[in-house]
């Protein structure tokens, strides 16, 4: 599974944190991947979601800059 996120709306001065969580131990979520994107972006962000048994989630948090909307899609890979 992969999560594709369009970051085309980001502009100079924007800083966003992207995280992938895996749920374990009956729902406790742990971070399995984290990255930060700063400023204008020209390519979509692709986050590989590892095979999990209890679930997962992806989050986006604005650290600085303006609020933005992000187009996203989940795809089966392989």
Say how far apart CA 70 and CA 40 lie, in whole Å.
Answer: 13
Residue for token digits 């009956």? 26
Residues in the chain: 78
Whether 3 has a pLDDT exceeding 90, the answer reads: no
pLDDT at residue 52, rounded to an integer: 65
pLDDT at residue 7, rounded to an integer: 93
| pLDDT digits 0-9 by tens, 44-78 | 998 877 776 677 888 999 999 999 999 999 887 66
Domain that holds residue 20: 2-75
- What pTM does this model have? 0.83
pLDDT at residue 29, rounded to an integer: 86
User: How many structural domains does the chain have?
Assistant: 1
């Amino acid at each position: 599974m992969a999560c594709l996120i369009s970051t085309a709306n980001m502009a100079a001065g924007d800083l966003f944190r992207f995280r992938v969580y895996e749920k374990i131990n009956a729902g406790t979520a742990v971070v399995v991947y984290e990255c930060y994107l700063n400023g204008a972006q020209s390519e979509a962000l692709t986050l590989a979601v590892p095979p999990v048994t209890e679930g997962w989630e992806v989050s986006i948090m604005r650290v600085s800059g303006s609020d933005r909307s992000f187009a996203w899609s989940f795809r089966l890979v392989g």
